[in-house]
Structures are given as structure tokens and as C-alpha cells.
Structure 1
Amino acid sequence: MTKDEHSKRILLGEISGVHGIRGDILVRTYTATPDAIASYGPLTDATGTKTFSLKIVRVTDKGVVARIAGISDRTTAEALRGTKLFIAREKLPETSASEFYHSDLIGLNAVAEDNTPIGKIVSVQNFGAGDLLELQPPEGASEFIPFEDQWVPKVDLSARTVVIRRPPSTGDETEDAETDEPEQT
């Protein structure tokens, strides 16, 4: 699979575990509604070489329990744990001018509100409390920015930019150090 073909695929979910002895799997989905993952047709792995047809059994608070055609035992299903599930972008609904897929954000230039370059968006993560943009500045470690209007007021796909308002620093502040003296009793 060429790099161009790979970039035209969207990550929809990941096999996070197994359920029962008949080979059912637990899928963490990244779709707007969890059971939508099965509605786009067969999914592929990261290499694009393995194809998976899912049938949703039920939706749980941890994702969806699904069956994969051709998988009928727990051992075979267990071997798929960690497999990321992709779909060709053209199989997904078109987005409106104000909508985008998370994968559209990766590689965008991040700028401050005054248009000063501050880095690139290298990933979109969700650790349970909401989506986060991973911002890689030109130098130093990456940082996570909450993907909320308050911190990300504008995404311009045509200009390939995202405007970032950085949250206040949570690091050690010198002025805080002066006021953090122990109380005298």
C-alpha cells in the first residue's frame, strides 16, 4: 500500500479485547455513534492486507461487542487484540464546510491567534475526558491542547491551519514559589 493510499484511510476503531468463548470481540470505536462502525462495510487492518466484516452484537459502556466473519473461537479472536480498524475515506459521508474528521487535523500548522507559528498537530487523542490535540512545537516536548472552542477557536482546512489558545501553564511559576512559604504557627 502506498503512502497516498494509506492517507486516504480513516481509523474507525480498535479491537480492545474478546468477549465470551465464541470469538466475539470488543471494539473501541471512534465513530459518532458506536454501532456505526459496522455500517460502512468491511474494515481493514493498518497494513490494508486483512479485511474484517463486523456484525454488532450489542453496545456496551466499553465499546461494541461484535463478531467478525470467519472468527469462531476465543483464541483466534484474542490474536486480533490491538488491531486498528480502518475504512477507505470515500466510504464515509462527506463533511460539511464546518466539519472534519480527526485525521484531517494531523499535519496542520498550529498558529497563535496573532498567526504566529507555534508547531504542528501530530495526533488527536482521547484518554476519556475529551479529545486532545497533540501539538509538537518546533523545539521541545509535545503538549496536549483540549479540543474545545475555548482553546481551539478556529480550524481552517483550506489554509491547513488550526488556531490555538494555550491553557495557562501548570508548571512551576517563580512568583508562586515566593508565596508558597509554610505558615508560622
Structure 2
Amino acid sequence: MPPPESEEWVVLGKISGIYGVRGMVKVFSFTELRDAILDYSPWLLGPDRHAYVLEEGRMQGEGVVAKLVGVDDREQARALIGQEIRIPRTHLPELQPGEFYWRDLLGLQVLNQEGQCLGTVKSFLETGANDVMVLDDGKGGELLIPWSGETSAGVDRDARQIHVDWQSDW
């Protein structure tokens, strides 16, 4: 049974295809370590958030495959393609001070050391060197700022602001 409607949900990935003939699904994982999505069960799928218990799962090449209880053939698995995998936010691990889930930073205003507003956080990108904040500059454009100890001067969630050591013309 899924948690109550008032619960805050977190999308961890989506069903991207079928694997084999036993009803296994391919999973596109949004978690930092791809197979970390397998640490959560049940998965709440689709607009009705139907709960599916994870029977087994593993890395398969560069991706993740999973077997869900009650999904026993290719056609049942095929019906799940494209559905987002959600869990209640309360199932996420507690963060240490100074740690943030990206989703908690979306929409925050970004100010540089001079107090100039550079924009609001629209999304994040993972790169090999460091993560990158994608800002909506409020003028129809985007600004990319590396997210690192050198550029991020602090997050004030109460004020809904992120302070960075970055100039608007960089």
C-alpha cells in the first residue's frame, strides 16, 4: 500500500525497457551510483503510484535491471516502460550538515559575493570534474556555474539563496 497522498515524493529513475523473458525491466537510474536505486523498495510506479516490491536487481553492463514481484512476463514488464520510479522522501538517508539533495536547491536564488543576483537554479549537470548548476538568468538565457568548494560560498535554505564566488560576466 503506497504512503498517504500528503507524502512528498522523490523520483529516483524510470523504467526504460524490458530485459529477458521473466518480466525483468531495464531501469534508468537518477541516483548518483546507478545501482543505489536497488536499495529502495517498494517502488511506486505510474500516476496511481502502484507499489511494486523489488524482488531482485543488478547492474547489467552500464545499466540496471530489476525484477518486481508480480511482474512475471515480458508483456507485464512492457506495460511499465516510461513510468517514473518514486519513493517517499522520508525513505532517503539523512544528510550530514552541508550536504544537500539537488532537488532541494532547485528554484533557489543565486547571488555572487557582491550581492548581485545571477539567476535561479533550474537544474544540475553531472560532469567528470564537478557538478554544474544551471541557472535561469531571468532574461531568457542560462548561466552555468561549477558546483564546488571553491565556487559555492554557502547555502541559506531559509532565505532560499545560494551564495557563490562567481562573476556575472565569467
TM-score (norm 2): 0.78
What CA distance in whole angstroms lies between the structure 2 residues aligned with 1:132 and 1:21?
Answer: 40
Equivalent residue number for residue 78 of structure 1: 78
Conserved? CA contact 1:151–1:167, under 8 Å: no
Cα RMSD, aligned residues only? 2.8
- Determine which structure has the larger helix proportion and give its number: 1
Deviations 1:67-106 (A, max 9, x none): 1121122233233222221111111221121111111111
Answer yes or no: is 1:90 the counterpart of 2:126.
Answer: no
> Tell me, what secondary structure is at the counterpart of 1:155?
strand
Shift in alpha-carbon separation, 1:96–1:29, aligned structure 2, 3 A: same
What CA distance in whole angstroms lies between the structure 1 residues aligned with 2:49 and 2:123?
Answer: 24
Post-superposition offset of 1:51: 2.1
Post-superposition offset of 1:46: 5.8
> Tell me, what secondary structure is at the counterpart of 2:133?
strand
Q: Which runs of 5+ in 1 are unaligned?
A: 170-185
Post-superposition offset of 1:59: 1.4
Conserved? CA contact 1:151–1:166, under 8 Å: no
Conserved? CA contact 1:43–1:87, under 8 Å: yes
Deviations 1:98-122 (A, max 9, x none): 1111111111111122221121112
TM-score (norm 1): 0.72
Shift in alpha-carbon separation, 1:18–1:163, aligned structure 2, 3 A: farther
> Tell me, what secondary structure is at the counterpart of 1:97?
coil
Conserved? CA contact 2:52–2:69, under 8 Å: yes
What CA distance in whole angstroms lies between the structure 2 residues aligned with 1:162 and 1:15?
Answer: 33
What CA distance in whole angstroms lies between the structure 2 residues aligned with 1:120 and 1:47?
Answer: 29
Equivalent residue number for residue 68 of structure 1: 68
Post-superposition offset of 1:66: 0.5
> Tell me, what secondary structure is at the counterpart of 1:77?
helix
> Tell me, what secondary structure is at the counterpart of 1:57?
strand
- Which stretch of the first structure deviates more once superposed, 94-103 or 14-23? 14-23
What CA distance in whole angstroms lies between the structure 2 residues aligned with 1:55 and 1:115?
Answer: 51
